[in-house]
Amino acid sequence: MRKIATIASLALLGTALSACGSPDPATDASADEAAATEDAAASEEVTELMIGEMAITYPDGTAVSLTVHEDGTYSRVVGDGLPTAGIAKIVDGKVCFDPSGADEAVCWSKGPTAEDGSFTATSDEGVAVTVQTPAE
């Protein structure tokens, strides 16, 4: 069975500008467009949820433990915090997470799988995380 991994979302972390000055907004926009095009080309269409446990690492080192259950629900723990839960679903070839009580789901595109089984997933907001599934 082909496994397609899912991930849960965290709040987008702000970025700081360097003390040397602000970058040129036109240059940043061009770089953002190029990165989005690369991400779209490298994305794999998700057709089914991957059931099981995953370890997610954000660029700042934040660790998330995610479990997607057989019934399409998910639970996650950020660091040593309290667990949260919701519903995982496929929307337009992406995995989307709808937290319990939330109005909007957060959706993620899946990048190519590396030899070690890990992959990068990118949220619609542009946050890229590393996802590792346990070896079978």
- CATH number of 123's domain: 2.40.128
Give the up-direction half-sphere exposure of residue 100: CA atoms within 13 A in the CB hemisphere: 9
Residue 26 has pLDDT above 50, yes or no: no
Amino acid letter, residue 106? V
In a domain, 42, yes or no: yes
H or E stretch covering 42:
helix 25-42
In a domain, 4, yes or no: no
In a domain, 73, yes or no: yes
In a domain, 43, yes or no: yes
Number of domains in the chain: 1
Tens-digit pLDDT profile for residues 80-100? 788 889 999 999 999 999 987
In a domain, 25, yes or no: no
Cβ contact 110:8 at 8 Å: no
Residues of the domain holding 98: 30-132
In a domain, 56, yes or no: yes
pLDDT average, residue stretch 62-84: 91
- What's the rounded Cα separation, in Å, for the pair 122 and 94? 10
27 or 55: whose pLDDT is higher? 55
